[in-house]
A and B are shown apart, each in its own frame.
Chain A
């Protein structure tokens, strides 16, 4: 199992669980990032400190530090 912040760009994977603050989890889930959802890492910007994921046909950006709270599995490039 890995966390979203250290996945290679372009990889697809399945979200397993979300940790962290309740507001963060609620926001992610309402945007469709629920456990069991298939997602893809589109971009990682180390300078700006954020990642972008594709989920259910739309794009969501979040901080790298917050991406650490997303556990994923089945990573395929």
Chain B
């Protein structure tokens, strides 16, 4: 009887993408996954607890899916870092290599690379249930013999073989020395041996960890990965130098280092694979039949557009009722709390600051969940790899990759889920560029603002609906073109990156698994609520404070006394017009709120920034609206309602609000909201980053305030310049 292990062990789960790695990971941990991040980078790190048959536990870490440990970017480097356990992580006690049995040849390449590192390895031969339909047989025992490491056939989807895998893991943790791989990388020529020795000598001692085999394996990694264009950090200069020198010498000699190294692994695979893999018959892949349609030069694109249209529609039609319920629930909670509490500043703080602030981020949840449901299905079924190639040509023109299409499209619904959706992109530079452009997409929160302003521009009449529609379309086209220009400019300047070749595997289509898709959807939603949500809540409370304080302002009339008289009349009158009295009280409240808001810190800021706004045609009251719109763009409408003294529940169709806006003037009597000013204001709203939630999510996703600050500055500058050009240009042309 073996006693339980005393020390907590670490096990890394590695494998190619699309091998069912996440499914197996969940099957092993029972779903107890903690989603974290790799230090200094926004790639998610999943870790969970594995309970072994002998009742000991080990930490299971999910390594990003990869075809090879070779890397040219920092995010690709994570695979090596996790599998090899480079400092400061420390070597794992065991690596589980998940292999897709139907794609065994290519999967063996990564397996050999991992075995070379000299760590105890178990191969989980996954999807063995699909071998028959693929016309392949694999002898797991013969495979284990050939590789010299245990091979456990599993079907992660239904849990077959998972218990055997756990037993095998426990056995190796107790006696790691029993695993003796028969694969050892050996150079085929003396020249290559000399190259590897030279590079090995420069591998940092902390990486090699006193292990010669590991030192050689890391030298091979360095020879495949390092060059003058890579984006790897923390690589010693002398290691780079020796690789450069050795490669130059080999090139001059007519040898190609990369080919020699990679060839040696495939040579082993070609020589030994027949010992355990047999192709019994040739089959037409089921996926081929699907791809004949989905990757058809014409039909493939049409179907993709149809799927995207459906996704986009769902973001509105499925999310709208849910958002409505959430808003109703919060309104109900706010009303109930207000009734239960004594009126006063603290009640206002709880109701209008805290509860409204929580509501401000919970409303994003339906769209986030729906979008991640779609993304999960697309990813898990294998369609996302097709989207990447289908959209490559289009998105490359914008200096982006094909996977950027879905996040950008989602930006037309709302930037928050769209920015989260960039997590499906693996290159950091592409992800960042997509994130910076998304807020320019015409999100649905801009529509109420446009509605209010377009109604002010287009005079009422028979042709008004058509003209209003055209103006709305023009705003969409304008914003999309601006996004294109910004992507091109940023992609060539600040975020210039080397062009990366498109070489991707087309995995076989598989039925997406409800458990996996729903779990990842739930994790994304929960993470948003706890991490980004708190930032949004803090910003909401700050906005409330700005609009509410200071309290001790001198008002033009004694609102309290007037209200007391009206309320007394209301109580005593039995026959009089009660509705009229109530209306007069409400109007009085709205007047007071408007006056207090105009005198608040937000109002004072409005006055301070007015000199920057007058060249665009805006006064300080519009400035308050712009400030208020940080809570969410559509809040501009209700803020204008408050500022113009008609209360906080104005909507874009409100006749009184429209009338007050039409009547608004500058101190010298000129009309404030001329059609030209409204157009200038629309341009401003199209381009300015009037959304604290967007900035909060970018901060969360990029781990810092540098990129949200940049987004805010570039978008505000762009908005100001174009509004300025439109307003001043319009005036020069003789428009009011």
Question: Which residues of A approach B to under 8 Å, CB–CB?
Answer: 20-32, 34-35, 42-43, 45-50, 52, 55-63, 66
Contact yes or no, A57 B501, CB < 8 A: no
Give A23 Cβ to nearest chain B Cβ, in Å: 6
Q: Known contacts A29-B263, A31-B106, A66-B501; can you find 6 more A-B pairs with CB under 8 A? A: A32-B266, A45-B297, A47-B298, A52-B291, A55-B106, A61-B505
Cα A50 to Cα B224 in complex, Å, equals 26
Give B618 Cβ to nearest chain A Cβ, in Å: 46
By a CB distance below 8 angstroms, the chain B residues around A31 are 67, 106, 503, 505
By a CB distance below 8 angstroms, the chain A residues around B392 are 48-50, 63
Residue of B nearest to A59 (CB): B506
> For the complex, is B54 an interface residue (Cβ under 8 Å from A)?
no
Give B108 Cβ to nearest chain A Cβ, in Å: 9
A30-B297 contact given A50-B389, A59-B506, A66-B502, CB 8 Å threshold = no
23 contacts between A and B (CB under 8 A): A20-B501, A22-B229, A25-B259, A28-B503, A32-B106, A32-B266, A34-B263, A34-B266, A43-B291, A47-B298, A47-B301, A48-B297, A48-B301, A52-B506, A56-B105, A57-B102, A57-B105, A58-B103, A58-B105, A59-B505, A60-B506, A61-B502, A62-B501
Give A40 Cβ to nearest chain B Cβ, in Å: 11
Give B19 Cβ to nearest chain A Cβ, in Å: 11
By a CB distance below 8 angstroms, the chain B residues around A46 are 297
Contact yes or no, A26 B301, CB < 8 A: no
Q: Which of B67, B105, B300, B503 contacts A48 (CB 8 A)?
A: B300
Cα A27 to Cα B503 in complex, Å, equals 7
By a CB distance below 8 angstroms, the chain A residues around B104 are 57
Cα A10 to Cα B102 in complex, Å, equals 21
Contact yes or no, A47 B258, CB < 8 A: no
Cα A55 to Cα B504 in complex, Å, equals 12
A30-B501 contact given A43-B295, A45-B295, A45-B297, CB 8 Å threshold = no
> For the complex, is B500 an interface residue (Cβ under 8 Å from A)?
yes
Q: Mark B66-101, 1 if CB is under 8 A from A, else 0.
A: 011010100000000000000000000000000000
Residue of B nearest to A52 (CB): B506
Contact yes or no, A57 B106, CB < 8 A: yes
Question: Which residues of B approach A to under 8 Å, CB–CB?
Answer: 67-68, 70, 72, 102-106, 109, 136, 224, 227, 229, 258-259, 262-263, 266, 288, 291, 295-298, 300-301, 385, 389-393, 498, 500-507
Cα A50 to Cα B501 in complex, Å, equals 12
By a CB distance below 8 angstroms, the chain A residues around B502 are 50, 61-63, 66
By a CB distance below 8 angstroms, the chain A residues around B393 are 47-50
By a CB distance below 8 angstroms, the chain B residues around A20 are 501
Contact yes or no, B259 A48, CB < 8 A: no
Residue of B nearest to A61 (CB): B389
Contact yes or no, A23 B301, CB < 8 A: no
Contact yes or no, A60 B503, CB < 8 A: yes
Contact yes or no, B501 A60, CB < 8 A: no
Residue of A nearest to B502 (CB): A63
By a CB distance below 8 angstroms, the chain A residues around B301 are 47-48
A30-B505 contact given A48-B297, A57-B104, A61-B389, CB 8 Å threshold = no
Most buried by B among A29, A47, A52: A29
By a CB distance below 8 angstroms, the chain A residues around B67 are 30-31
Give B287 Cβ to nearest chain A Cβ, in Å: 8
A29-B259 contact given A23-B501, A45-B295, A63-B392, CB 8 Å threshold = yes
By a CB distance below 8 angstroms, the chain B residues around A47 are 297-298, 301, 393
Contact yes or no, B390 A48, CB < 8 A: yes
By a CB distance below 8 angstroms, the chain B residues around A57 are 102-106, 136
Contact yes or no, B105 A27, CB < 8 A: no
By a CB distance below 8 angstroms, the chain A residues around B227 are 22-23
Contact yes or no, A30 B262, CB < 8 A: yes
Cα A4 to Cα B150 in complex, Å, equals 39
By a CB distance below 8 angstroms, the chain B residues around A23 are 72, 227, 229, 498, 500-501
Cα A25 to Cα B103 in complex, Å, equals 21
Give A41 Cβ to nearest chain B Cβ, in Å: 13
Residue of B nearest to A33 (CB): B503
Cα A60 to Cα B109 in complex, Å, equals 15
Cα A28 to Cα B103 in complex, Å, equals 16
Q: Which of A42, A48, A58 contacts B288 (CB 8 A)?
A: A42
Cα A63 to Cα B388 in complex, Å, equals 11
By a CB distance below 8 angstroms, the chain A residues around B224 are 26, 30
Cα A47 to Cα B296 in complex, Å, equals 9
Cα A29 to Cα B265 in complex, Å, equals 11
